[in-house]
Every structure is written in structure tokens, then in C-alpha cells.
């Protein structure tokens, strides 16, 4: 029996009728209007209630547009992942974040191959994947707009070039700590994907002014740029960024020791959010740490 009955009373109070959750139309009501609001881990648990619920969740998984493993990855083994997505061909959003301990090309490639409408893919931290997964994404997902590759050190120049060649509509990409990448790959990406609005090149000592200037000149609609820890980036490229990217909203240059206030000040005047405080404010913070209180300073003098 269905453990989730829905009870309905007629307003007169004379008639009583009972229906069960599974009596509702599955594909017209339950899948698009109820199950879509449940976390994936709850759906997995619901599968175990009965054979009918198992079939219902199977229908849902074959029609779901978003599959997010981030909160449940430690609990889902490889076999379950493959089983849950084997019939799905309509995915638009796939997140594998925090699945680095088990997701490999063997599990991911079949999913990518049969879901050509993917618009957002997050493989951040998936260290067991290889460049073959990125090449598969580039060849299969022509409509890709958002891609997360943070801490995927297997990303190389050739796989990124393949992405740039086939996914020209890309709007955001996170390449944090993709340490194999150098200026040539980033410059190629910037020329091919001129619609980029958000880009992270953080924690990559190979990145120089050449990459930043090429991004600035080709991606005029850029809104967010993360250069945290790019030690070879200097003031010149930041000035180029200010000149060519009028829509810039956020810039991260923490630990970029060659970037100074002379290049950042014009961006501050445009209300660009920068993660490094102006020199005077930094000095006040240090002084407060030393003295234990913030001294009063008349800034109008």
C-alpha cells in the first residue's frame, strides 16, 4: 500500500474520498511539480519504499534536467550513479563537485555522450578524470555556457583548445589551479569564446600579462575575473583590463604582488569590487592589530 495517502473532503462534509500520491499523473504532475523540489538524497531513499516508488523515481531520473551530486556524492557508489543516469538524455545541468574520490572517465563519458543539451557542467575537484572527459564535453555539448574545472590539474592546452573550438557560446569557466595551462591556451580561449562574462585563472603561476590583455581585448563583456595568486601579472595588464572591459564588476588580485594601487584605483572609481584594500585602509588594519584599537585619523587633512 502507498504510505502517503491524500485525503479529500467535500465541503458539505457528507462525502469522503481518499486517493494516494501515486494515483496522481506521474509525468504531468509528480515529476515536474513535486519530485523536482526534493533533494537527490531523498529521492534515492524514496526508491526503496516500494516497487511503485522505484518505478516513479526511475521515470523522474530519466526526465530530470538537473543532476547535482555535490551534497550526496559520498553516499552514492559508482554503480548507482551509472544506473540513475543511464536512461537520461535531457540533462541541462550536471554537477559532479566533490566526487573526486570515485568519478572517472568510465562513468562520465556515457553520460556526456547521450546528453547533448548540457548547458552547465561542474567537474571541479574531480581528480580521477582525464582530458578525455573535457574533450567529450567539447564535442558533445555545443550549447555549453558554464563550465567548472577548478583544481582539475589534468586539464591541458589541447583539451582546452578543443573546448574553445566547439563551445564558442561559453559564458563562464573556472580554471582555478589548472596548472598545466599557460598563456597560449588562455589566449586561444579568449579569441574563440568572446562571450565570456566570468573567468577564473587563480592559483596559476604560468599566467602572465599576455593572458590578461588578450582576455580584456577579446572579451569586452567580462564581468568577473579572478587572478588570485597569479604572481606574474603586473599593472600594465590591469590597465588594459580597465580600458577594454567597461562591464567589469569584480576583480580578485590577492597575492598578485606586482599589481599596485596605481592600476587598481581607476577600477575602484568605477565601483569595481576588488578583494584588496587600498593602501591606507590596509595600514589602518595593521595598526589596529598592533595597537589593539583603531586610532582616529582625520582623512580630510
- State residue 142's pLDDT score: 92
Q: Where along the chain do its domains lie?
A: 21-64, 85-289
Between the two ends of the chain, the Cα-to-Cα distance in Å is 80
Per-residue pLDDT tens listing for the chain (301 residues): 455 555 554 444 545 567 788 888 998 899 888 988 888 778 888 888 999 999 999 999 999 898 886 555 456 778 888 888 999 999 999 998 767 778 999 999 999 999 999 999 999 999 999 999 999 999 999 999 999 999 999 999 999 999 999 999 999 999 999 999 999 999 999 999 999 999 999 999 999 999 999 999 999 999 999 999 999 999 999 999 999 999 999 999 999 999 999 999 999 999 999 999 987 655 555 556 666 655 555 544 4
- State residue 5's pLDDT score: 55
- State residue 253's pLDDT score: 97
pTM for the structure as a whole:
0.84
- State residue 7's pLDDT score: 52
| Superfamily of segment(s) 85-289 | Ribonuclease Inhibitor (3.80.10.10)
- State residue 300's pLDDT score: 45
- State residue 51's pLDDT score: 92
Amino acid at each position: 500500500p502507498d504510505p502517503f495517502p491524500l485525503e479529500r473532503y467535500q465541503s458539505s462534509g457528507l462525502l469522503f474520498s481518499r486517493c494516494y500520491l501515486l494515483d496522481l499523473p506521474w509525468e504531468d504532475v509528480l515529476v515536474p511539480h513535486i519530485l523536482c523540489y526534493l533533494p537527490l538524497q531523498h529521492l534515492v531513499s524514496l526508491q526503496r519504499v516500494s516497487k511503485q516508488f522505484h518505478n516513479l523515481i526511475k521515470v523522474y531520473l530519466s526526465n530530470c534536467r538537473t543532476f547535482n551530486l555535490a551534497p550526496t556524492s559520498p553516499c552514492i557508489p559508482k554503480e548507482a550513479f551509472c544506473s540513475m543516469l543511464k536512461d537520461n538524455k535531457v540533462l541541462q545541468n550536471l554537477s559532479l563537485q566533490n566526487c573526486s574520490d570515485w568519478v572517472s572517465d568510465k562513468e562520465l563519458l556515457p553520460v556526456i555522450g547521450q546528453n547533448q543539451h548540457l548547458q552547465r557542467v561542474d567537474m571541479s575537484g574531480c581528480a580521477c578524470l582525464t582530458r578525455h572527459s573535457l574533450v567529450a564535453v567539447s564535442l558533445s555539448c555545443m550549447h555549453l555556457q558554464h563550465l567548472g574545472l577548478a583544481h582539475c590539474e589534468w586539464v591541458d592546452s589541447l583539451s582546452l583548445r578543443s573546448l574553445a573550438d566547439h563551445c564558442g557560446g561559453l559564458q563562464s569557466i573556472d580554471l582555478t589551479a589548472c596548472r598545466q595551462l599557460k598563456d597560449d591556451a588562455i589566449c586561444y580561449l579568449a579569441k574563440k569564446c568572446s562571450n565570456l562574462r566570468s573567468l577564473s585563472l587563480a592559483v596559476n603561476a604560468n599566467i602572465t600579462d599576455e593572458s590578461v590583455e588578450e582576455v580584456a581585448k577579446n572579451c569586452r563583456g567580462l564581468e568577473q575575473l579572478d587572478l588570485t595568486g597569479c604572481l606574474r601579472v603586473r599593472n600594465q595588464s590591469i590597465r588594459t583590463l580597465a580600458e577594454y572591459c567597461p562591464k567589469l564588476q569584480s576583480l580578485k588580485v590577492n597575492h598578485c604582488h606586482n599589481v599596485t594601487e596605481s592600476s587598481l584605483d581607476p577600477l575602484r572609481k568605477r565601483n569595481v569590487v576588488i578583494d584588496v584594500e587600498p593602501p591606507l585602509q590596509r595600514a589602518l588594519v595593521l595598526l589596529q592589530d598592533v595597537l589593539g584599537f583603531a586610532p582616529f585619523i582625520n582623512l580630510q587633512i
